[in-house]
Chain A
Amino acid sequence: MRKTIISLVIPAIIIVIWAVLTTYTGIIPSYLIPSPHDVFEAFKSLLMNGILIKDTVDTLSRVIIGFIVAAIVAVPLGILIGWSETVENYLSFIIGILRPIPPIAWIPFAILWFGLGLGSAIFIIFVGSVFPILISTADGVKRIDKVYIESAYTLGADKLQTIKKVVFPAALPNIITGLKVGMGIALMCTVAAEMIGSNNGLGYLILTATSMLDSASAIVGMLAIGVIGLTFEYIFTRMERKLNW
């Protein structure tokens, strides 16, 4: 509780300074930064006409689908890379090359492969979140104390059982950290993802609001993405704590 209050101090100060600089003194003109009041009004109207909820749901479903596909690919592959040096040798170069490419750079190919709309959006989010999950999982597997794996073998487990019952749970804290980072990046990709042929979603909301110089609505969209991110962060942190054996 005290921590919650403390964490709200700086945002409160920012809002006060922001209000002073815009509404109360007009030092910063409203076409540069809208006032808190404007943003609140924009929030109210976007909430009332249902657009905010709808865009949030649209973005959330894209992000979750892209993220889940990324996790389904990255967790098993990461375990394999961490487990087998041969697999790592085959894949480390290609992963090293693909990983630094910004998701936004994939947009032309996303359009060619998946057309305009949902498929492309999911692909962009997938590209953004797959690597952090992959790297973190592989790293977690590599760090496992060998004594756990050897214990499993001396207790009669075969390789597959050892991966399922020892490697996976032992690496789970790292896997969850990877998921947390991956989700953060997935959300960072929403604007890029919704540039391509989408006509809804928070990224689309921000883009259209900006093009119509409605910066107050853009800020509402930005804050909505922030709140979604914070919520996921909270959920993953809770999961991490639960695993604190």
Chain B
Amino acid sequence: MVFKIKKVNKNFQNKTMEMEILKNIDLTIEDGEFLVLLGPSGCGKTTLLRMIAGLDFPSSGTITDNDVPVLNPSPERGFVFQQYSLFPWRTVLDNVAFGLEVKGIDAEERYEKAKNYIEMVGLSAFIESYPNQLSGGMKQRVAIARALVNEPDSLLMDEPFAALDVLSRHKLQKEIIQIWQQETKTIIFVTHNVDEAVFLADRILVFSERPGRIIQTLKIEQERMRDRTSEEYLDIKRKITGLLETNQKF
């Protein structure tokens, strides 16, 4: 799926005034790319991702998915939310099977398929568990499986690992790279964590503080899995950190 984002601006109407959130975003996202949107808190990353998903709309400009304007959410664009979003009244299995259920696929087939994706995220032992019985990392794994079961062309992920401890976060980062390599999907991944961006991305877009603009585009060619201690890796991290700091207003 090729996303084309053309001259997108986004304002939110506050009680008292109009607030500029995103300014003049121009961007093409290639098929199969792992794109990371990196920027400080409040710069509009979630807003941009939501507009790509069709959950929100630009104030001006256009967003197209394979030349079709994005007008509503679609199972072709899987979304993993920043906050926990599993349906608490459904088991892991029924959460993951949800997308197939609404498509009208019969129980036997949808459970078999859902189980495959649950296995992919390593939670086969928990299919009958309810979300409140899972750790934060497990919940996000289920959320990923739930989006993947629809076999979307792209996966939009909004800081999915932000609430996790470093070790679980590193583990899930590796897993998402494996899934991406295995399933050849376009992934758009939002984070404010520089290390996470450098570990994951083919290309990083660095955003300024609000109103968010793209201040830098970086291609990272290093082989996966990346070695977090290599010179090259640390160099890129240093460069991005410097960039973010010089663009800090306060």
Contact = CB atoms under 8 A, between A and B. Distances in A.
Interface of A: 147-148, 150-158, 161, 165-166, 169-170, 172, 243, 245
Contacts of A169: 87, 89
A156 B150 contact: yes
Nearest to A150: B55
Binding site secondary structure of chain A:
helix
A178 B243 CA distance: 55
A151 B132 contact: no
B87 A156 contact: no
Contacts of B84: 147
A157 B101 CA distance: 9
B55 A245 contact: no
B98 A153 contact: no
Nearest to A160: B102
B78 interface: yes
B77 A154 contact: yes
Contacts of B102: 152, 155-158, 161, 165
B211 interface: no
B85 A155 contact: no
Contacts of A154: 53, 55, 73-75, 77-79, 147
A155 B89 contact: no
Contact of A153 (B55, B103, B132, B147): B55
Contacts of A161: 102
- Interface size for chain B: under 10, 10 to 19, 20 to 34, or 35 or more residues? 20 to 34
Interface in B135-160: 146-147, 150
Interface string B80-96: 01011101110000000
A150 B98 CA distance: 13
> Which 3 A-B residue pairings sit nearest by Cβ, starting from the closest?
A156-B75, A154-B79, A155-B99
B32 to A, nearest CB: 21
A169 B74 CA distance: 23
A104 B103 CA distance: 49
Contacts of A155: 75, 98-99, 102, 146-147, 150
A156 B55 CA distance: 12
